[in-house]
Chain A
Amino acid sequence: NAGVTQTPKFQVLKTGQSMTLQCAQDMNHNSMYWYRQDPGMGLRLIYYSASEGTTDKGEVPNGYNVSRLNKREFSLRLESAAPSQTSVYFCASSEDPGTTDTQYFGPGTRLTVL
């Protein structure tokens, strides 16, 4: 099993450009999540999908959109990138949205917005 995979690994954008970060998991998990990681602030939840066909906002959703394409894939879109969105983005998945379920993370996408 590859677990959780993310593409691309690195990306540089100019302010105002758009892009989509891709995430896929092969563990047949129902729930998927997008986080951003910033120094001193830990990981903050952007959006999550408790199950296929549903998405909900997390702590920092502004400037982002998501699509749960199918059970395996959950994408994050930046419509008009801003320097404040420079960060490392992690995708995660869990079997169910239970409060003790382990979230498994991908290796991250390092995004720089100039």
Chain B
Amino acid sequence: KDQVFQPSTVASSEGAVVEIFCNLSVSNAYNFFWYLYFPGCAPRLLVKGSKPSQQGRYNMTYERFSSSLLILQVREADAAVYYCAVCPPSAAGNKLTFGGGTRVLVKP
């Protein structure tokens, strides 16, 4: 079974760059998806792909078996849970496998 690993918590100070790592347990190229989750709200896609990409303050790095999400100039309002998810390119259907989520803490 494919597994997705990410740290449970990352702490940072306001204005810094936060980096969240995501590693896979399998030896295959995947599409990565990064979701933002505030409790009580719908998870929202931040960035996705199989190559490095950027959406506003969110950068996604890409290696064959890992990805990182970088949050630039982090703010207190960015304190939330970030999920890494993957979908193998040959999957029958868009079946995402999620990591356990990373809680980002931001100190003022």
Q: Which residues of A contact B (CB under 8 A)?
A: 3-4, 31, 35, 40-45, 48, 50, 56, 58-59, 90, 94, 96-108
Contacts and interface: CB of A to CB of B under 8 A. Distances in A.
B28 interface: no
B98 interface: yes
B64 to A, nearest CB: 16
Contacts of A43: 43, 83, 85, 96, 98
B96 A90 contact: no
Contacts of A96: 94
Contacts, number: 72
Interface of B: 1, 4, 8, 31, 33, 35, 40-45, 48-50, 83, 85, 87-101
Given A45-B96, A59-B97, A96-B94, 17 more contacts: A42-B83, A42-B98, A43-B43, A43-B83, A45-B95, A48-B95, A50-B93, A56-B93, A97-B92, A99-B89, A99-B91, A100-B48, A100-B49, A100-B50, A105-B43, A105-B44, A106-B42
A26 to B, nearest CB: 14
B87 A99 contact: yes
A43 B92 CA distance: 19
Interface of B is mostly: loop
Contact of B42 (A45, A100, A107): A107
Contacts of B42: 3-4, 90, 104-108
Contacts of A48: 93, 95
Contacts of B101: 40, 42
Shortest Cβ-Cβ A-B pairs, 9 listed? A42-B98, A97-B93, A105-B42, A43-B98, A105-B43, A107-B42, A42-B100, A99-B87, A50-B93
